Chains A and B, each alone.
Chain A
Amino acid sequence: MFETALFYAFSAILLLAALRVITARNPVHSAMFLVLAFFTAAGIWLLLRAEFLAIALVLVYVGAVMVLFLFVVMMLDINLERLREGFWRNLPLAVVVGGILVFEMVALLARHVFEAAPAAEPGPGNSNTRQLGLLVYTHYAYAFEVSAVILLVAIIAAIALTLRRRKDRRYQNPAEQVKVRREDRVRLVSMPSERDE
C-alpha cells in the first residue's frame, strides 16, 4: 500500500518534471528539471529493488552528464528566440512522427508480449549489485574487457584531437632546476679593488 502510494507520487513528479523540461523557457531551468526527473526515476527503480540502476542513474546522469550539460549551457550564449523560431513550422511533422511512435508502442504493448511475473525478492545479503558484479567479472569478462579498450580509445582520441602544444609557451622543468649547479648561476668576477683618491 505504502509502496503503491510512493509509486504514484514519484510518477506524478516525474511526469511533471519531464513536461517542464520541454516547456521551461530558461535552458538552465530545463536542465534542473531534468535532474529532478532523473532523481524520481531513480526512486521508481528503487521501488523495483533495482538499486544498482538507481545509483548508476544518479551517479552517471545527474553527477556527470547533467553537470557537463549545465557547463555547456552556461558557456554558450544560446539565443532562445532562434531556438523557438521553427516550432510552429515543424509542429505538424513532429505530431505525425510522434503519433506513429505512440501507435506502434500501443500496438505492441496491447499484445501482452512484455507481460512478466513480478521479480522474485532477493534473499538477505544477496543484492542485485552483488549479482551484477559476479556476472560482469565472470560470465561477461570478455565484453567487460572490450569496454575497457573502448574507454582507452576514447582517452587517446580525446588527447589526439584536443591537445595543442604551443611553440611560444614557457614552462618550468623541475629536473633541470634541481640539477643546477652554483657555477651556472653565479659568476665570480675578480676585480681589483678601487682606491679612493
Chain B
Amino acid sequence: MSAPATLTDFLLAAPELVLLTGACALMIADLYVKDPQREASFIIAMLVLLGCAAATVFVMWGTGGHVAYAFNKLYVADLMAHLLKLCAYLAVAAALVYSRQYLHERGLLKGEFLTLLLFALLGMMVMMSANSFLTLYLGLELLSLCLYAMVALNRDSALSTEAAMKYFVLGALASGLLLYGMSMIYGATGTLTITEVAKQVAALSGKTAERHLLVFGLVFVVSGIAFKLGVVPFHMWIPDVYEGAPTAVTLVIGTAPKLAAFAMAMRLLVNGLLDLAHDWQQMLVVLALLSMALGNITAIAQTNLKRMLAYSTIAHMGFMLLGLLSGVVGGNTYSAGEAYAASMFYTIVYVLMSLGAFGMLLYLSRAGFECETLEDMKGLNRRSPWFAFIMLVLMFSLAGIPPTAGFYAKLAVLSAAVNAGQVWLAAVAVMLSLVGAFYYLRVVKLMYFDEPGDTAPVEGPREMRALLSLNGLAVLGLGILPGSLMSLCYIAIRSL
C-alpha cells in the first residue's frame, strides 16, 4: 500500500522540482547581488521559469498526453494541469517584467519579492496537479502564505498592512471552511484521494444518511472555493486587498492565482464530486448571479481604478461560473466538455486582460506618483496614442465588445449556459454585462475626450513597452482567432 517514491514519480513532478530548486538557488544567489536593479536575480528567475516550461513540455511528451499519477496518487499529471501551468508561467513572467521598475522606484525590489513570487507559483502548481484533498490544501496554503506576505511587503504603509491583515484573517477562515468540508467528505467516503472519492460518491448514491453528510461537506467546500475565486458573498476581501496592496502585488494576486482557483474548482467539483453536480450547480447559480450583479453595479460607483478593477474581477469570476454550472444537464454529461472548456478559456483570457490592465497602471505610475484613480487616465491619447489604444483594446475586451478575446470568452460561456437550458440566467448575465460596459467605456471616454490633467511624458523600460504592446495585441488576436486556444482548452478538459 505504501510504496516508496520511485524515479518515475520524481520525473512526473519535474516542473515542481525545477521550480523548488530554482527558487532556493535564487534565494541564496540574491544575497550576493549588490546591484539595486537586481539584474542577475531577474535573469535567474526568468531562467527558472523557462526551465519549468521545458520540464512541463518534457512531462507532456513523456506521458503522451495521458493521465499519469505519482506519489501514491497524491499527484496527477494531465493535460489540464500542463496547460494551466504553462499559462501560469507566462503570467508570472509578465508580472516580473511589469513590476520591476515600479518596485525599484519604491524600494520594494528585494530578493524576498522574487522568492515569494516563485514559491507562490509552486503553490499554484501543486494545486493544479493535486489528486488528493491533502495536496490541494497544502498547495493552497503555500500560495496564500506567499500572497499574504507579499501584500504586507510595503510594511511602512498602513493601508498595505491593513489589507494584508484582512486578507490573512479572512483567508484563514476560508481555509478552515474548506478543511471542514473536506473532513466531512472524508468522513462519508473514507478516502482523501480525489479519484477514489469520485468512485465512493457514486457507490453511495442510494444511502440518504451518507448523502446528507456529503452535501453538508459540499456546502463548505463550495464556500472555500468561492472565497478563493472571490465571488459574492465571499468577496469582501477583494476590493480592500486590491486597493491596499502595492500595484505590482495586486497584479500578481489578480492574475495567476485565478488559474489555480479554477484548477481547484475543477479538481474538487468535477474530478471528485461530479455525482453531486445537481447540488453544487444550484449553489453556483446563486454565486454567479450575485457576483455579476454586485460586481458590475458597485464598480460604477468607484473612482479608484484599482477598486474598480477589483469589482470587475468579482463580476468576471461570476461570469466564469456560468460555464462550470452548465456541465451536467439532467444527469448526463454530453455537453460537459464544452461547458468546462468555455470556463477554462474564460479564465485564461481574463488573466491575460487583467495582466494588461494592471500592467498599464504600473506603466503609467512613476517615482512618487501612483496611477490609480480615474482622473489619472484623462487625456492619455494626447500623451501616448499607442498606449491609449492598447488600453482601449483591454477595456473593450473586459467589457466584452467584439472583436476582442473578452467577447469570444463571454460568448462561449453564454452558449454553454443556453445549451444547458439556463436561458433566463444567460439573459440576466447579458443584461448585467451591459451594465458593466458603462464603467469600462467611461475609462475610454476619459482617455480620448478629456484634457490631460498631467503632462508628464509617458515612458518606461523598453522590454515593458514591448510586452505591454504584445499583451494588448494578443487580446485582439485571440478575439479574431480564438480557435486554437479554445480547442486546446477542449482537449485539456476531455483528458480529465
Contacts and interface: CB of A to CB of B under 8 A. Distances in A.
A135 interface: yes
A140 B141 contact: no
A142 B71 contact: yes
Given A140-B74, A160-B112, A161-B152, A153 B187 contact: no
Interface string B121-161: 01000100000101100110110011011001101000000
Interface stretch (B206-214, B249-257, B460-468): B206-214
A147 interface: yes
Nearest to B138: A146
Interface string A121-162: 000000000000011001111110011011011101101110
Interface residues of B, number: 42
Contact of B142 (A111, A114, A138, A153): A153
Contacts of A153: 116, 119, 142, 145-146, 149
A135 B139 CA distance: 20
B446 to A, nearest CB: 37
A146 B119 CA distance: 11
B142 A146 contact: yes
Contacts of A159: 112
Contacts of B2: 134-135, 138-139
A143 B27 contact: no
Contacts of A154: 145
A161 B1 CA distance: 43
B166 to A, nearest CB: 16
Interface string A19-39: 000000000000000000000
Nearest to A157: B149
A108 interface: yes
A178 interface: no
Residue among B110, B149, B209, B213 facing the most chain A CB atoms (10 A cut-off): B149
A94 B20 CA distance: 45
Residue among B3, B74, B110 facing the most chain A CB atoms (10 A cut-off): B74
Nearest to A135: B2
Contacts of A108: 212-213, 216
A166 interface: no
22 contacts: A108-B212, A111-B212, A113-B187, A113-B212, A114-B187, A135-B2, A138-B4, A141-B5, A141-B71, A142-B13, A146-B135, A146-B139, A149-B119, A149-B142, A150-B141, A152-B119, A153-B119, A153-B142, A153-B145, A156-B112, A156-B149, A160-B112
Interface of B: 1-5, 9, 13, 20, 27, 70-72, 74-75, 110, 112, 115-116, 119, 122, 126, 132, 134-135, 138-139, 141-142, 145-146, 148-149, 152-153, 155, 187-188, 209-210, 212-213, 216
